[in-house]
Amino acid sequence: MQKSYLSLTALAFATLALAAGTPVWGQDAEPLAGDDMADVVEVEEEKPAPPPDPALEEALIALDVAPVFDGHNDVPYQLRIRNDNQIGDFDFTDTTRTGENHPDGRMMQTDLNRLAEGRVGAQFWSVFVSVNQTEAEAVRQTLEQIDVMKRLIDQYPGQLAYTDTADAIEFAMANGRIASIIGMEGGHSIGSSLAVLRQMYELGARYMTLTHFQNTPWADSATDDPVHNGLTDFGKDVVREMNRLGMLVDLSHVSEKTMMDALDVAGTPVIFSHSGARAINGHPRNVPDGVLMRLPDNGGIVMVDAVPGYLNEERREWFAERVAVEARQKSLYPGQPDIVEAAMADWDDANPEPETTIGHMADHIDHIRGLIGVEYIGIGGDFDGIPNGPVGFEDVSGYPQLFAELVRRGYSQVELELIANRNALRVLRGAEQYAASKRDQRPIETLIPETE
């Protein structure tokens, strides 16, 4: 804000002069000095407001009609690692000070204020638990994560609504509440048991990611050495039983062969709850074109994520080089962490991390749209499961900026609404309709063989 300084005397003179229609200051007017400065007062001049952004305005119109239905958010995991799932004193309205209880000073990326700013109308909350434990322990912890998320939803009845159907989601959004639906991230959460899978469904889980970063006893992960060549026979029955129940099959994190096997078996649309296009970024967590080309026949969607390492190929290659340099330093100087740390600090100074922007995220959306159409795209930010998002989309408040970027790239209002929530609702409704058609079908009772 700019500031002007005028004396009270000068202000009075100016007012009288203006009233008389005479100039306020003559050409020979002299600046105030001496005692005249004693009466100086401060007059604040407002800076002009920035010009409106037509693209953002158009994006907000679309999001008012079709609020974002996001495919993946890890708030439940943050509650576990930060608060041990004790939420009696947890303020979900504003989490911007939560960096104080994080070892790296990292604040949470999600709260009710920023969800509202981001025009989020529905959210799949991931009840992820670590893969580095026994399956039995993973099942127990998953139950705890479902419990803590339901308790959080209950604490904010005016802002959040527990939902488990497409109709309930639409009803919640129409009434100004964020529809909250549960997703499981990783097949280890069912302990290789179809009975546990069924009970997780009864508790509200409406999707399950078949793997996380490691293989399960029945499915290969994208980031582990393959051992099953995709899905085992039991794994295929997991997909069939999920279809029978009406639980979405989530293929983020799984290997390309597992993707293909699941598409061979699936009778309902699949989802990729937080993935990108491998043609844009070669990370195996992303979806190759060969799999994308099968989605129109299946009806599924890719919910594009906001993870810099999966969006920006330059950033992915930078990270790979950094890992290699660090491994070399550790090999050269075993047991000497101070030397390694100093060497890596020097390397980081000389090789800053490439910037990832909203434009990189839009590139993935562009690719999928150009290859198979906008009907197979959604958004799955993965917030609170990542260290940081792209520049301009650092937390859940940033969805309007992403949609503004899509407007600048020529996306229509109809296309924006499809990406925001209509595609995701269609897929969920398709799973429900398939399950209704199989209501008389008995549960699958397959047991996992000992060899699996």
CA dist 75 to 107, 265, 313, Å? 12, 32, 27
Query: Which are the catalytic amino acids?
Result: 72, 74, 185, 212, 253, 274, 382
For the segment 389-398, what is each residue's pLDDT rounded down to a tens digit? 999 999 999 9
DSSP β-bridge partners for residue 287: 277
Q: What share of the chain is helix, strand, coil (3-state, %, to 5)?
A: 50, 15, 35
Q: Is pLDDT at 133 greater than 90 in this prediction?
A: yes
CA dist 301 to 28, 74, 81, 286, Å? 74, 20, 31, 13
Domain count, the chain: 1
Residue range(s) defining the domain that contains residue 124? 56-312+356-437
Token pair 């997703």 in the structure block, residue: 183
Query: What is the DSSP pairing of strand 301-304 with strand 178-185?
Result: unpaired
Cβ(131)–Cβ(213) under 8 Å? yes
In a domain, 47, yes or no: no
| Residue whose C-alpha is closest to residue 420's, from 184, 173, 182, 125 | 173
Q: Is pLDDT at 402 greater than 70 in this prediction?
A: yes
In a domain, 219, yes or no: yes
H/E run at residue 224: none
For the segment 344-385, what is each residue's pLDDT rounded down to a tens digit? 999 999 999 999 999 999 999 999 999 999 999 999 999 999
Name the 3-class secondary structure at 243. Answer: helix
In a domain, 138, yes or no: yes
CA dist 119 to 28, 63, 114, 338, 420, Å? 58, 6, 9, 46, 10
What pLDDT shows up at residue 93? 98
In a domain, 80, yes or no: yes
In a domain, 343, yes or no: no
What is the pLDDT averaged over residues 155-168? Answer: 98
For the segment 215-274, what is each residue's pLDDT rounded down to a tens digit? 999 999 999 999 999 999 999 999 999 999 999 999 999 999 999 999 999 999 999 999
For the segment 279-310, what is each residue's pLDDT rounded down to a tens digit? 999 999 999 999 999 999 999 999 999 999 99
Q: Is pLDDT at 64 greater than 80 in this prediction?
A: yes
| Burial annotation 64-88 (CB, 10 A radius, 16+ → b, else e) | eebbbbbbbbbbbbbbbebeebeee
In a domain, 21, yes or no: no
Q: Is pLDDT at 41 greater than 60 in this prediction?
A: no
In a domain, 118, yes or no: yes
| Residue whose C-alpha is closest to residue 157's, from 224, 124, 112, 197 | 112
For the segment 78-109, what is each residue's pLDDT rounded down to a tens digit? 999 999 999 999 999 999 999 987 888 899 99
Q: Is pLDDT at 24 greater than 80 in this prediction?
A: no
What pLDDT shows up at residue 36? 40
In a domain, 319, yes or no: no
Give the CATH number of the domain where residue 416 resides: 3.20.20.140
Whole-prediction pTM: 0.88
DSSP β-bridge partners for residue 122: 69, 179
Rounded to the nearest angstrom, the gap between the alpha carbon of residue 151 and the centroid of all alpha carbons in its chain is 21
